[in-house]
Amino acid sequence: MKEDLFQIRIANTSDAEALLEIYRPYVEKTAITFEYEVPSLTEFKGRIDKTLDKYPYLVAEQNGHILGYAYASRFIPRAACDWAVETSIYVENTKKKMGVGKTLYFELERLLKRQGILNLNACIAYPEVEDEYLTKNSVEFHKHLGYQWVGQFHNCGYKFGRWYHLVWMEKHLGSHLEAPAPPKNFQNVELGT
């Protein structure tokens, strides 16, 4: 699959069922997410709506089929951290290593930069030793896209009878000025290229 064979667009709640089906195996078969239960469709729609109130929520689509999605969420709910977000990405299992994730993240970064966001933070589940539930691929993916390792929390997630670490990685989108303009709400951002 070439990157030009799929498009990136803004998600909406009518995508929730397809997105939930991409997310389901991450919950049920991996420790990539620390959720134990797959959210209901109603809850998932609410998550999309809540994100789109302030941040981008994107899908990669090919011929009407959603291949993956990425979004930003509030990093810390304090005004001083308004210039920072947490990024998340999920790609359909059979569509990994085809440029979908990279393209989603690049478009997410472009939109966040237009909002005035400066710091991208990724919270990533990380194994002491790779196993059938979790590898170190997500850290490598983020490193490849310019994220830097910031820190690690040890044995803070328990899933499938095993303890997993969490690591934080970050990427800066711009300069940290002495008096930065407040970030824009995503609804007020010009989406063009």
pLDDT tens, position by position, 21-71: 999 999 999 999 999 999 999 999 999 999 999 999 999 999 999 999 999
**DSSP labels for 69-104?**
EEEEEESSSSGGGTTEEEEEEEE-GGGTTSSHHHHH
The model carries a pTM of: 0.94
Per-residue confidence (pLDDT) for residue 176, from 0 to 100? 94
- Percentage of the chain exceeding pLDDT 70: 96
Per-residue confidence (pLDDT) for residue 129, from 0 to 100? 96
Range 102-130 average pLDDT: 97
Per-residue confidence (pLDDT) for residue 188, from 0 to 100? 77
Average pLDDT over all residues of the chain: 94
- Percentage of the chain exceeding pLDDT 90: 89
Statement: residue 189 has pLDDT above 80: no
Statement: residue 1 has pLDDT above 80: no
Range 137-147 average pLDDT: 97
| Torsion from C-alpha of 52, 139, 41, 25, nearest 10 degrees | 160
Which residue in 52, 55, 65 sits closest to 17, CA to CA?
A: 65
